[in-house]
Structure 1
Amino acid sequence: MRDSTILVLIWLVATACNLDKAYHIDDTAHLEIAAWITAHPGAPMSGLVNWSDSARPIHELNQPSLYFYILAGWGRIFGYGETAMHALQSLFTLAATLFFFGIARIVVPPYAIILTALLILGPAFVVGQNLMVDIPILACSLAFFYLLLKPDVRSEHTRYTLAALTASAAVLMKYSCLPLLPLLLIHIVARKQLRVLYALLIPLAILTAWSLFNYFEYGSVHLLDRPSQARTFERTSSMGLRWVIALGSIAPFSVLVLADTLGRMRKWTVSRRAFTIAGALVSIVVATLYLRNRQPYPHALLAALFVVNGAYLLVAAGLALRAQNPRPAPLLYLWLAAVSGFIVLFAPFLATRHVLLSVPPLLLILGTKLPARPRPRAAFAAILATVFLSANLVIADWRFADYYRRQAPVIRAALPSESTVWFTGHWGWQWYAKKNGMRQIDLRRSRPEPEPGSRPGPGDYIVRPLAIHQQEIDPELRLELHDVISDPPVERPRFNTANGSASFYSAHYLPWTINREPFGSIEIYRITGVTTMAGPPPD
């Protein structure tokens, strides 16, 4: 089968996993920002989005606006339905597929199609597509490195001009792509192409223009206003551990590297083999005991396996430096270190989608360590493990997202049609609750006085999902429990990306697990009275 045919199949499979998926996690905030931009294209940061207790200006959120402009333009033409918007995301999936394959053909030609399948069909990619910005910035990052690594270009001026524009686009989608800019400088200097240093002025000029645009819109600079994280040893080490756990949880491709390691072990002495196996077992035990204080025992064991898997891949990548032919390009290590280090040091939390940005350079580095000719059985086993894990996590996350899409119309239809129904909770639920006529609770902390009719009152209902991020309910309201909607009991263990909340998207120590936990109950309250109407709660 031709490579082009396989690439199309990979893209179609990844697209099918996301095309009609319910809006999930940050999708709703992105859609609401896009809707604001559609109506106010000259003031993208001035709208209000309720993503905490009350509506706040968009400029208080972390992302710049380029991706939201793209969503707004697409939505204006094709509408804001799931299939239409996920079709847009599919274009970024296609770009990521083609650019990674192009890089892999340059770095490790025999493994190009195998590594592409392992990346695009991997759980972090197919599960994490949704409508969030991580796949678009991954596509831009891959385009950037493809331009730097491509041997035949029209000219070095073309190479670096296009790379600078691509890096600028990535940064204007998400600031976590800022490491691309020093990497651009390093690449220019290392290749002694000093005559094209002017290319660095392109992202600097674009970021300056963006900052001035911010200043004239709302009086400050969005990039400089981002909240900083305390870089203490405790926090950095904790984020580093979570990063390794997240990597291990989404890397079934380690099977490919493990097959090579086992092949090499046949040449080792018995004592060396025994020492290696004992070391792996001891590592699992030690990691389990350490994590036991943070997770129940079965979860601690699973997290320990993730730690060992992630650490094994990092050690294997380090040992690839010893490879004689071919040796990984230094740019790959800089790529891996830059994006990983930025996330560990500066990200407010750790999620599998953050680790996804590190997977392409890691796969490419590991590919240089493998035998010159791919071993069909090892490649098949790695792809099979990847497809198995991804399929189960795709189904789990689809159910998680779809639960709230299904419940919103059912709940609204069950309540009196003439009643006012309020809701708490964000993520995809927020989109579907609003779509079905419910009103979002807003504590109005950002406004001196509530607008008439903007607060719940006697006779109204409040719908409160328990397992998602949500705002508080005004303690002045006297509530009577009206009904509880519960997910049906789970008869047998299943893969779960929620794990009490949404661990795949904001992991503490376990991005996914296998259990019988339902998605969480939804409580419905009737307001029987108000203690006082003294005004909104203070900040």
Structure 2
Amino acid sequence: FAGGCLFSVLFYAPLVRLQDSFRQAESPATESGRTPDFRILVIGFALFVFLVPLFYFGGARTALPLGTAIEGALFVTIGIGILALALVDIVQRKAADSLLLGLWVFGTFVFAAVMNWTITSRTFLPMAPAVVILLIRRLRLSAANGSFMPWWLILPAALVSLLITIGDYKLANTARIAASQFRQRFRNESESIWFEGHWGFQYYMQQWSAKPLDLEEHGLVPGDVLIVPINNTNVTRKPAAPTIASFEQLNYAQFFATTTNPEVGAGFYSSKWGPLPWLVGSVPSEHYVIFRIK
């Protein structure tokens, strides 16, 4: 999650130097500021290559599809690099500000990964300012040059952020579209319309006559309709009803990037949905199941 949430660090990795840039202000390499430290790239690539089969063959508890394993290995590699960046800064500089930044990064990581009730992206984001400061320390050019990191590296980082945002918007908008279609279809029904799930789907469904289902005291009677969004929280794939008269499933295509889908292991808002904060690839459709109670 740390590497996925701070994915933009990857694009600056070729320009990161192990040696503190402030201590190399007079060196020729620092004058250009763009000489990559290939040791970092080699170490990162070796770690990535090691992690891919580990995730793919289930060495990390659960076997993952190849695409998910590749992205997961990349995220973990970035996360390890971020922690190493903070640790190296403390060791090399031995200053109070380095210790502060290190505690900022490691403290946030420990809370988000160990102490919080679930692993979620928003608990990793507070470390972003500290990571940016640490990164700039390794990328800053000499005082004589007076410039900073190449601006064009922001473009791929912005592109990835935009893709994730579009995927999240598409997922959220699916609930609104589905609820609107259900309203048009069932608004004249004399029987009760029930639904499971929460989040935005609950908000849109409760704007009309649909009622949330209590799983313990459901109150379903013959003729009622129950709508279940499969990719949601507190849902069951089969209603607690004696008999089902009919069953129908509606599918809504998604963008090729997603933040929440257990089928591909994406769980931006909670790791209960998957081990990755987001995923780019073949994203399954959103499924909504309609039951008619007999």
What stretches of structure 1 move > 6 A for 4+ residues in a row? none
Number of aligned positions between the proteins: 268
- Is 1:381 equivalent to 2:146 in the alignment? no
What is the identity, as a one-letter code, of the residue corresponding to 2:87?
G
Deviations 1:496-516 (A, max 9, x none): 222336611123322211223
Q: Any stretches of 5+ residues in structure 2 without a counterpart?
A: 22-27, 30-36
Deviations 1:207-257 (A, max 9, x none): xxxxxxxxxxxxxxxxxxxxxxxxxxxxxxxxxxxxxxx111122134335
Deviations 1:179-211 (A, max 9, x none): xxxxxxxxxxxxxxxxxxxxxxxxxxxxxxxxx
Q: Secondary structure, in 3 states, of the residue corresponding to 2:260?
A: coil
What does 1:128-527 align with in structure 2 at a 5 Å threshold?
246-251=1-6, 252-256=8-12, 258-261=14-17, 276-292=40-56, 293=58, 294-322=63-91, 328-371=97-140, 375-376=147-148, 378-415=149-186, 416-444=188-216, 455-472=219-236, 474-488=239-253, 494-500=256-262, 503-507=267-271, 508-527=274-293
Q: Secondary structure, in 3 states, of the residue corresponding to 1:261?
A: coil
C-alpha spacing 1:300/1:349, structure 2 compared with 1 (3 Å): same
In 2, are the aligned partners of 1:253 and 1:383 still within 8 Å (CA)?
Answer: no
Whole-angstrom CA distance in 2 between matches of 1:303 and 1:425: 28
In 2, are the aligned partners of 1:424 and 1:465 still within 8 Å (CA)?
Answer: yes
In 2, are the aligned partners of 1:253 and 1:385 still within 8 Å (CA)?
Answer: no
Whole-angstrom CA distance in 2 between matches of 1:368 and 1:399: 37
Cα RMSD (Å): 3.1
In 2, are the aligned partners of 1:256 and 1:381 still within 8 Å (CA)?
Answer: no
What is the identity, as a one-letter code, of the residue corresponding to 1:516?
S
What does 1:12-91 align with in structure 2 at a 5 Å threshold?
none
In 2, are the aligned partners of 1:481 and 1:523 still within 8 Å (CA)?
Answer: no
Scaled by the length of structure 1, the TM-score of the pair is 0.45
Higher strand proportion, which one?
2
Q: Secondary structure, in 3 states, of the residue corresponding to 2:243?
A: strand
Whole-angstrom CA distance in 2 between matches of 1:436 and 1:457: 20
Scaled by the length of structure 2, the TM-score of the pair is 0.79
Deviation at 1:388, TM superposition (A): 0.9
Whole-angstrom CA distance in 2 between matches of 1:496 and 1:354: 19
Deviations 1:25-63 (A, max 9, x none): xxxxxxxxxxxxxxxxxxxxxxxxxxxxxxxxxxxxxxx
Deviation at 1:464, TM superposition (A): 0.9
What is the identity, as a one-letter code, of the residue corresponding to 2:230?
L
Deviations 1:351-372 (A, max 9, x none): 2112112222222233334325
Higher helix proportion, which one?
1
